[in-house]
Amino acid sequence: MSGDWLEDVCWDGNGLVTAVAQEVGSGQILMVAWMNREALSLTVAEGYAVYWSRSRQRLWRKGEESGHRQKVHDIRLDCDGDVILLLVEQAGGIACHTGRHHCFYRSFKEGRWATVEPVLKDPKAIYQ
């Protein structure tokens, strides 16, 4: 496998690309994170989502603490080459660190962000 496919990605000034994780089956958007070249290469090699954590400045194997790994079914690249879409199977049914199914649990209603999705598991029980 040549490394050229990595060069088809338009990495930003920090060497990162936006990565969207969508759940196979439900089609729900689980989360949006970032990848660098190594994270994308490892995602391909391991078959599970690996991101680059900007806050921790290190590789982040999704689910490394929580067990909520994301098995990758398909990897897509957008027309501009600056966004990756992962189609994933979400272990445990929880993608968000708040213990919710996905991260987009706030909906704009009458001028404010209303929480519209339940916590499925207490984060204290997820991250011990």
Which long-range CB contacts under 8 A does 50-56 form with residues at least 24 apart? 51/19, 52/16, 54/16
Q: Is residue 109 classed as helix, strand or coil in its secondary structure?
A: strand
H/E segment holding residue 51: strand 50-53
Size of the site for its own copies (CB under 8 A): 38
Binding of its own copies at residue 22 (CB under 8 A)? yes
- Whether the CB-CB separation of 85 and 27 falls below 8 Å is answered with no
What number of CA atoms fall less than 13 Å from residue 107's CA on the CB side? 6
- Whether the CB-CB separation of 2 and 67 falls below 8 Å is answered with no
Binding of its own copies at residue 31 (CB under 8 A)? yes
Binding of its own copies at residue 124 (CB under 8 A)? no
**Which residue's CB is nearer to its own copies, number 58 or number 112?**
112
Q: Using CB under 8 A, which of 103, 119, 120, 121 touches its own copies?
A: 103
Binding of its own copies at residue 85 (CB under 8 A)? yes
Q: Using CB under 8 A, which of 11, 37, 61, 75 touches its own copies?
A: 75
Q: Is 10 labelled as part of a ligand binding site?
A: no
Q: What distance lies between CA 16 and its chain's CA centroid?
A: 14
Binding-site positions for Zn(2+): 79, 96, 103
Where along the sequence are the contacts to its own copies (CB under 8 A)?
1-2, 4-5, 8, 18, 20, 22, 26-29, 31-32, 44, 74-80, 83, 85, 96-98, 100, 103-108, 110-113
